[in-house]
Amino acid sequence: AQKITQTQPGMFVQEKEAVTLDCTYDTSDPSYGLFWYKQPSSGEMIFLIYQGSYDQQNATEGRYSLNFQKARKSANLVISASQLGDSAMYFCAMREGDTGRRALTFGSGTRLQVQP
Amino acid sequence: DSGVTQTPKHLITATGQRVTLRCSPRSGDLSVYWYQQSLDQGLQFLIQYYNGEERAKGNILERFSAQQFPDLHSELNLSSLELGDSALYFCASSVVRDLHTEAFFGQGTRLTVV
């Protein structure tokens, strides 16, 4: 079974609008962390935001926020006030366990295109 | 700049050949991970090293091997290369501290097998 599912292969958004990128996950471990990474066309992977399974509040980092719904096992990324530079691939990832020792498992990604 | 250095950035080689990809982790990071990103398989975890020892294996082929040296740099060796091995190979490093430990990625090595 897929541990991380991103059901939107591609998304379009108008500049300055908000966009939500979906991510659902599957784990039986009570301790886990959820991460979002951005991959621009240049190829590098850029860490955006983190949410821990025990965190009571949704994570926010500037224009990025994570809509964490634990019961639904979803961790959607919300980008507010989209900019042309936000056009990229976005990956949701999960680390299971209560330490940082395990590798991240990635979803298949969503390609976001911001239109002027 | 993530602080993780991968060399070379691009590599073109023929089928059947062997190549070595190199990764220098961020200063202080003991854990190194290798990932393969291909169009059809997405980002696949290959192998993890922690302080010189193999810690976990993912979808790594037997033709592939890796090691982490005492200075913590790591090498990924790919042998008997096939066309399907063409991909972007990432190295990532992290401090093993707690669950909130993001992995910092290098720029990747783009391997093209012809």
pLDDT digits (tens, 9 = 90+) for B49-73: 999 999 999 989 999 999 999 999 9
Residue with tokens 């090498």: B75
Q: What percent of chain A has pLDDT over 70?
A: 97
Question: Do A80 and A62 contact (CB within 8 A), yes or no?
Answer: no
Residue type at B47 in one-letter notation = I
Question: Do A48 and A56 contact (CB within 8 A), yes or no?
Answer: no
A57-93 pLDDT, tens digit per residue, is 999 999 999 999 999 999 999 999 999 999 999 999 9
Chain A residues in contact with B110 (beta carbon < 8 A): 43
- Give me the residues paired with residue B36 across strands: B44, B89
Chain B residues in contact with A98 (beta carbon < 8 A): 98-99
How would you classify residue A62: left for phi > 0, otherwise alpha for psi between -120 and 50, otherwise beta?
left
In A, minimum Cα distance to B110 occurs at A43
Residue A100's pLDDT band (boundaries 50, 70, 90)?
A: low
Taken as a whole, chain A contains a residue count of 116
Chain A residues in contact with B98 (beta carbon < 8 A): 98-100
Residues 6+ apart with CB under 8 A from A14: A82, A114, A115
Chain B interface includes A103 (CB < 8 A): yes
Taking CB atoms and an 8 Å limit, are B108 and A44 in contact across chains? yes
